[in-house]
Amino acid sequence: VTTSPVYDEIGIGYSLFRRPDPRIDAVIQSALGTSMRVLNVGAGTGSYEPAGRMVVAVEPSPEMIRQRPRSAAPCLRGHAADLPFEDGEFDAAMAVLTVHHWTDPASGLRELRRVANAAVILAIDPPVHNSFWLFRDYLPEISALSTTGGAMPVDAIAEVVGADRVETVLIPRDCFDGFGVAYWCRPDAYLDPDVRRCISAFGLVHPDAVSASIDRLREDLRCGAWHDRYGDLLERETFDGGLRLIVRDAR
Ligand SMILES: C[S@@+](CC[C@H](N)C(=O)[O-])C[C@H]1O[C@@H](n2cnc3c(N)ncnc32)[C@H](O)[C@@H]1O
């Protein structure tokens, strides 16, 4: 199994900052409905894996697998596009914040549909994600990445898996899971290199571009320019950062 080098690199320390957020977890668990046999693809360190169901995980990165807690579901090393399971072996397949990393997302999604009856996919909507203040105004290089700006559109994901619905998942102001948009009202967090290390997009942009943009953010926070432009966000409880739950219900 070949692995995405970015995850062997950024995977280190991932479980510290990428803890499952209970509000996002509730949305995922509800969408899984009564499915008992669940496949978690692109499972990482095991976030959002449901308790009380029979879960099998698939993940390509040894570094991510290494960080899975002992209590996590059994995990095979593999890719979404080549799942070693029989047709219809699972009641549901889940894929959380991972589809934009797959080299061949359409094949991976067809595999999900082949091996499972239902599907629950938490994906990013590229145009909404790219309009986030950090990416639009400080680090536009992120919007040009194939993993974010060029990611598969939500409608296309929904079509391949035969989805019944697409829901917007709002990001709480104190989101526990430190993905790219998670700190939408906590801008100082992006100044912390440990926070940035757990956000794959930062690892894919040239380090000089990242440090120039972070220097600019630091200065804007110091002189008040950030608060002048985006201070309204500090009043909000939730934010649409482009997270979309794509659900194919059990048939
Ligand atoms: C942002 S992490 C999400 C992990 C976990 N689902 C979570 O919510 O914390 C993305 C994961 O996708 C995995 N990944 C990358 N390419 C993949 C592929 N082709 N098939 C399956 N997983 C892949 C990465 O190794 C990484 O663990």
Report the separation in Å between the CA atom of 83 and the middle of ligand 1, taken as the mean of its atom positions.
14
> 208: which residues sit within 8 A by CB, 6+ positions away?
none
Report the separation in Å between the CA atom of 212 and the middle of ligand 1, taken as the mean of its atom positions.
28
Strands 243-248 and 165-168: antiparallel
Beta carbons of 100 and 148 less than 8 angstroms apart: yes
Mutational test site, ligand 1, from 12, 101, 121, 148, max ligand atoms within 8 Å of CB: 101
Q: What percent of the chain has pLDDT over 70?
A: 94
Sheet of strand 90-96, all strands in order from the earlier edge strand to the far edge:
75-77, 54-59, 37-41, 90-96, 116-124, 243-248, 165-168
CA–CA separation, 23 and 170 (whole Å): 9
Is 236's pLDDT higher than 60?
Answer: yes
Task: Residue count of the chain, please give it.
Answer: 251
Q: Determine the average pLDDT of the residues in 225-235.
A: 98
If pLDDT is split at 50, 70 and 90, which confidence band does 3 have?
low
Q: Determine the average pLDDT of the residues in 178-185.
A: 97
If pLDDT is split at 50, 70 and 90, which confidence band does 156 have?
very high
Least confident of 101-105, 126-130, 147-151, 222-226: 147-151
Report the separation in Å between the CA atom of 45 and the middle of ligand 1, taken as the mean of its atom positions.
9
Is 9's pLDDT higher than 70?
Answer: no
Ligand 1 atom nearest 96 alpha carbon: 6
For ligand 1, atom 25: residue with the closest CA: 61
For ligand 1, atom 8: residue with the closest CA: 96
CA–CA separation, 107 and 248 (whole Å): 17
Is 198's pLDDT higher than 60?
Answer: yes
Report the separation in Å between the CA atom of 239 and the middle of ligand 1, taken as the mean of its atom positions.
24
For ligand 1, atom 14: residue with the closest CA: 42
Strand boundaries in 49-173, DSSP class E: 54-59, 75-77, 90-96, 116-124, 165-168, 171-172
Is 24's pLDDT higher than 90?
Answer: yes
Least confident of 14-23, 213-222, 241-250: 14-23
Higher-confidence position of 14 and 115: 115
Report the separation in Å between the CA atom of 11 and the middle of ligand 1, taken as the mean of its atom positions.
10
Report the separation in Å between the CA atom of 44 and the middle of ligand 1, taken as the mean of its atom positions.
5
If pLDDT is split at 50, 70 and 90, which confidence band does 175 have?
very high
Report the separation in Å between the CA atom of 199 and the middle of ligand 1, taken as the mean of its atom positions.
12
Beta carbons of 67 and 15 less than 8 angstroms apart: yes
Could you read off the pLDDT of 30-63 as tens digits, one per residue?
Answer: 999 999 999 999 999 999 999 999 999 999 999 9
* Protein residues with CB under 6 Å of any ligand 1 atom: 4, 7, 18, 41-44, 47-48, 59-61, 64, 79-80, 96-98, 101-103, 108
Residue 143 confidence (pLDDT): 85
Say what the pTM is.
0.94
Mutational test site, ligand 1, from 98, 121, 243, max ligand atoms within 8 Å of CB: 98
If pLDDT is split at 50, 70 and 90, which confidence band does 7 have?
low
DSSP-based three-state secondary structure for 220: helix
Residue 16 confidence (pLDDT): 78
Q: Determine the average pLDDT of the residues in 230-249.
A: 98
Least confident of 11-25, 71-85, 205-219: 11-25
Is 8's pLDDT higher than 90?
Answer: no
Is 150's pLDDT higher than 80?
Answer: no
For ligand 1, atom 16: residue with the closest CA: 102
